[in-house]
Every structure is written in structure tokens, then in C-alpha cells.
């Protein structure tokens, strides 16, 4: 391979590296939240395209100004005019990127902080359910964040069919993903819809996508979990995070982690910096290709820190 070709490939690689670094940082900071990650990548992609556009605009307007030559002249030969050209070109490119970021980023942030049209359709129903079943609920916007998380964006007919080794492991449906779990032989391990029917006696399976009942069940279940963990946790935020884990993985998971935290000398009366720092051995196994412990720890974090804040004034 000729030296010129190697030099060309090296320059091409150096041009790509900053974008790869940005992509890697984005992946690190938004890990665990696919929607936030995609939104951030979209912003980076647009800014990168603007930078590329700016590069070609610069080459068109100032074809005589070669950045590499200007750098060499400025540094190696201490050529002041070349240094001015170099700084001006860099300022021009960064100016275009700054303008793009200033225009795009606030709009993306506003879009992320505003409930979707689908959410706005059902938020009044959720508010009514909370007022009826749990009027004293603290941080009630956490329930809205949970509904968004569970239903992939307020899809009242959302269905999840979890399979393991080709067999149906669980079936969840609706805004709160009411779950029916199955044993390996196909028999039911538990059926939360039966529990829901005890609360709403006229709720039939054929009408399982009824939004009023779905949201009512989510509120009542969260209320029960919150009351169970209240005596264990130090404040309402920790109570909520623990109760969300109970909703997602069962109250037994909270009790097991609490017992392990006590034995390990880890704070057992809070979730963040406490129960999220310990895990049972079986939680290290993979579920749907991901570590179970990671999925359980991400669940309250994504709901409370990412999804719920935008609903604070809506419920």
C-alpha cells in the first residue's frame, strides 16, 4: 500500500473519530432509555450534517484557504496571516454548528418535556382515577411516567408477549401491562387480570383494553405497593422507587434486597444508593437477552427521572 493511500485513509479516519466519540458518549449517558438515546442521536446527526454542509460552504466560498496548509504555516513557520486564516475558518465552522445547535436543541428539549397527544388524551382519565382511588398520592406524576414506560407511549392496546426458549413466558397488555405469567408446561403461574376483576367486577376479558379500568387498576396496585413499602423506606421518593420495583418484579424482590442490604452494610431504607446497590444471585441471569438486575434497576430510574417530570402539572 502506497504512503499516499495510507495517509489518505489516516486522514479519513481522523475525520470520523470525533463523530464516533460523540456517539459513544451519547450511548453512555443515555443507556437504558432507547427513546432518549434516539432523540440525542438525531440531534447529533443534524448538527453533524450542518458541520459537513459548513465545510463544503467554506470550500466553495474560500477555495484558496486550505486548513491543513494554514495549520502547517501557522505552527511550523510561525506565519501570522496563516494563523489568522486558520482561526477564521475554525470560527466559521463552529459558528455554523453553534447556530444549528441553538436552533435545534431547545426545540428537541421542549418536545421531550411536553406530553404527547396520545398522553393528553388519557391524562384526564388517569387524574380522575387517582382522585377516586388514591387522592392523597404523593408525587402522582410518577404514575403517568410509569404508564408511558409500560405502554410504550400511552398505547392502550399495547401487548407484550415474552417468550423464553420458544415458549410463552408472560403476556402483558394495556396501559399498565396487566400480566399473566406461565409455567414451562403452559399452565398459569399467576394472573393479574383475575385480581383486577376483583376490583372491577364488571370488567370482562373481551373488554380488557378499557382505559378507565386499566388506569384504575394501575392506581390501586401502586397504592397497595406504596403502602407496603412505606414503613421500610425513609422518604416518598424511595417509597415510590421501591413500590415501582414491586409493581414490576414483585414485593418479594424489595424484601430480598432489603435483607441483603442489611447483611452487606448497605443503607436499607432508601432505593438510590441503597437497594439498587445490591442484588440477589438469580438477578444476574439474562432475561430477554439482558441482565435481570439491570432491567430492575433501570425501571424506577427511567420512570422517575426521565419520563415522569413532564407530567408534574398534568395530574
Write the DSSP assignment of 106-167 as a string of letters. HHHHHHHTS--HHHHHHHHHHHHHHHHH-TT-TTTHHHHHHHHHHTTTT-TT-EEEEEETTE
Contact (Cβ atoms closer than 8 angstroms) between residue 304 and residue 244: yes
Residue of 70, 87, 154, 152 whose CA lies nearest to 116: 154
What letter does residue 254 receive in the DSSP assignment? H
- We find that the CATH architecture of domain 117-311 is Orthogonal Bundle (1.10)
Spatial separation of the C-alpha atoms in residues 108 and 45, rounded to whole Å: 13
Contact (Cβ atoms closer than 8 angstroms) between residue 109 and residue 42: no
Q: What is the mean pLDDT of residues 140-162?
A: 96
Q: pLDDT value at position 58?
A: 56
- Give strand pairing partners of 34: none
Torsional sign, CA 258, 277, 228, 201: negative
Q: pLDDT value at position 82?
A: 47
> For all residues of the chain together, what is the average pLDDT?
81
Q: pLDDT value at position 164?
A: 80
Residue of 237, 241, 296, 232 whose CA lies nearest to 268: 232
Residue of 33, 27, 41, 37 whose CA lies nearest to 298: 33
Q: What is the mean pLDDT of residues 279-300?
A: 92
Q: What is the mean pLDDT of residues 279-299?
A: 91
pLDDT tens figures, 11-47: 555 555 665 666 666 555 555 444 555 555 566 666 6
pLDDT of 146 > 90? The answer is: yes
Q: What is the pTM of this model?
A: 0.69
Spatial separation of the C-alpha atoms in residues 143 and 123, rounded to whole Å: 10
Lowest mean pLDDT segment, chosen from 60-74, 251-265, 273-287, 290-304: 60-74
Backbone phi and psi for residue 234, each to the nearest 5 degrees, phi listed first: -80, -30
C-alpha cell at 67: 486548513
Residue boundaries of the structural domains of the chain: 1-104, 117-311
Of all helices (H) and strands (E), which one includes residue 178?
Answer: strand 178-182
Quick one: pLDDT band at residue 108, thresholds 50, 70, 90?
very low
Backbone phi and psi for residue 291, each to the nearest 5 degrees, phi listed first: -60, 130
Lowest mean pLDDT segment, chosen from 98-107, 150-159, 241-250: 98-107
Q: What is the mean pLDDT of residues 149-160?
A: 95
Amino acid at each position: 500500500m502506497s504512503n499516499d493511500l495510507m495517509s489518505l485513509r489516516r486522514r479519513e479516519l481522523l475525520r470520523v473519530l470525533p463523530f464516533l466519540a460523540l456517539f459513544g458518549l451519547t450511548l453512555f449517558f443515555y443507556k437504558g432509555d432507547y427513546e432518549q438515546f434516539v432523540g440525542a442521536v438525531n440531534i447529533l446527526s443534524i448538527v453533524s450534517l450542518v458541520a459537513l454542509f459548513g465545510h463544503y460552504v467554506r470550500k466553495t466560498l474560500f477555495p484558496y484557504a486550505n486548513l491543513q496548509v494554514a495549520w502547517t504555516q501557522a505552527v511550523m513557520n510561525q506565519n501570522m496571516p496563516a494563523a489568522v486564516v486558520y482561526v477564521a475558518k475554525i470560527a466559521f465552522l463552529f459558528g455554523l454548528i453553534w447556530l444549528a445547535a441553538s436552533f435545534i436543541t431547545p426545540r428537541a428539549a421542549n418536545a421531550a418535556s411536553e406530553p404527547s397527544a396520545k398522553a393528553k388524551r388519557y391524562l384526564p382519565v388517569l387524574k380522575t382515577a387517582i382522585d377516586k382511588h388514591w387522592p392523597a398520592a404523593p408525587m402522582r406524576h410518577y404514575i403517568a411516567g410509569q404508564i408511558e414506560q409500560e405502554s410504550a407511549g400511552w398505547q392502550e392496546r399495547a401487548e407484550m408477549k415474552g417468550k423464553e426458549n420458544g415458549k410463552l413466558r408472560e403476556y402483558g397488555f394495556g396501559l399498565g401491562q396487566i400480566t399473566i405469567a406461565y409455567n414451562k408446561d403452559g399452565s398459569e403461574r399467576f394472573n393479574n387480570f383475575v385480581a383486577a376483576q376483583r376490583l372491577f367486577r364488571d370488567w370482562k376479558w373481551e373488554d380488557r383494553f378499557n382505559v378507565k379500568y386499566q388506569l384504575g387498576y394501575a392506581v390501586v396496585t401502586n397504592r397497595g405497593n406504596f403502602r407496603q413499602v412505606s414503613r421500610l423506606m425513609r422518604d416518598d421518593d424511595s417509597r415510590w422507587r421501591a413500590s415501582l420495583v414491586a409493581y414490576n418484579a414483585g414485593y418479594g424482590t424489595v424484601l430480598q434486597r432489603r435483607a441483603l442490604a442489611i447483611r452487606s452494610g448497605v443503607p436499607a431504607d432508601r432505593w438510590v444508593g441503597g437497594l439498587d446497590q445490591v442484588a440477589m444471585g438469580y438477578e444476574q441471569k439474562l432475561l430477554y437477552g439482558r441482565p435481570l438486575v439491570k432491567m430492575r434497576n433501570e425501571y424506577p430510574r427511567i420512570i422517575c427521572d426521565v419520563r415522569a417530570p413532564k407530567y408534574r402539572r398534568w395530574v
